[in-house]
Chain A
């Protein structure tokens, strides 16, 4: 099983600040997927195939990486971005998720 480790576990950012969340895989994966989950809501697809934005996602979000190291970046933090973010891989069964990064508004 491929284990995904996210860092930081919790972070806070001020409006306009840049935020980067990292996802490290225990083995190489071909792509990474990112989801956003706001408090009390279901997860929402944010980025697929490492760097492609899902429909309706603001372009302040971006994804990058390869092999065992991937990242999600929010270029300029907005209040509505406060949420928990999860990475996910499918390169090998079982599909696994990272433990999540909680992003709070400072």
Chain B
């Protein structure tokens, strides 16, 4: 059974940093692209970052480019999101998601999510 378990969320002041983690199990982690998707309170979904199987390629939308860094440790089956220079608009539930990448690009399994609140 595919399981994705996020951790590391919490309350952080604007301008500070936070690092999220996602522990994966139930599949061969190193064979899949992985992603982070967020959802602001009572809002829709927003893609945040994607990383290739080896970690050599990363993709971001303009809203977080230069502030967020996605990384992975295939030996530990773990995904990370380093978030710097946090803003109030980064307040959201952050989901770790497994990606199907190639002919089609979509998110086939999602974690339960971790809440990040940016506030003074």
Contact = CB atoms under 8 A, between A and B. Distances in A.
Contacts of A97: 44-47
Interface SS of chain A: loop
Contacts of B47: 94-97
A8 to B, nearest CB: 15
A88 B44 CA distance: 11
A91 to B, nearest CB: 9
Interface residues of A, number: 21
Interface stretch (A10-18, A19-27, A40-48, A73-81): A40-48
B44 A90 contact: no
A13 B112 CA distance: 28
B45 A54 contact: no
Interface string A64-106: 0000000000000000000000101010011111111000000
B112 to A, nearest CB: 6
A45 B110 CA distance: 9
Given A54-B108, A95-B105, A100 B44 contact: yes
A48 B102 CA distance: 13
Interface of A: 31, 33, 35, 42-45, 48-49, 54, 86, 88, 90, 93-100
